Amino acid sequence: MSITILIIIVTAIVSFVAFQNKDLRARLIFYPVSIKDYNQHYRWITSGFVHADTTHLFFNMFALFSFGSNVESIFLQEFGSLGKLYFLILYITAIPLASMYDYFTNKDNPRYAALGASGAVAAIIFASIMYEPLGKIYMYFIPIGIPSVVFGVLYLVYSYYMSQKANDNIGHSAHFYGSVYGVLFTIATNPQVVPHFIHIITNFKNYY
């Protein structure tokens, strides 16, 4: 079984159980005050396995399946038997690292809480972009595929902008920092991805 499918199964089970048990969900979500005051550090990880509702769960897991399967396959090609381990490390470490900014800005804010795998999924998406910057990403209501690198830039700009001004209960900063972490992890584990990325971008005509 692929790591991508395993993560989806575990996340779905935990999320559906938490849908029925609000007390459990409250104990698993990312709540900076409890991490700071009560040393509930497990929340750094468990928050990535619970979701607000079935729609939230579906879109995160659909994105993970769409990009994760590709990234896991690339990692297996690049790192051999260590590929699955690298993929798992990327996903799991992205959950807390994507939330680090929100922790420091809200560790004394009892009204702030967050949940969901969006930060980790963003890391996977941007790992995919580093390897395949001209891969096509299709979005609702847009009839043509958007080159993944264009989508990535727009996504980063949007996430950063919204994290600075929005008050819509969406973890835009986690999306932003998860994306950045996905790029940094990919470069750290395979520095050759940088010249590969540049070569594809500068020779984009050969890929169309």
At residue 191, the 3 state secondary structure works out as coil
At 181, list the tokens.
């972490």
Give the domain extent around 81: 3-207
Beta strand pairing call for 136-137 and 146-147: antiparallel
* Digit-coded pLDDT (tens) for 170-192: 567 888 999 999 999 999 999 99
Looking up residue 72, the CATH number of its domain turns out to be: 1.20.1540.10
* Digit-coded pLDDT (tens) for 65-113: 989 999 999 999 999 999 999 999 999 999 999 999 999 999 999 999 9
Q: What's the number of domains the chain is made of?
A: 1
For tokens 């919204």, the residue is 162
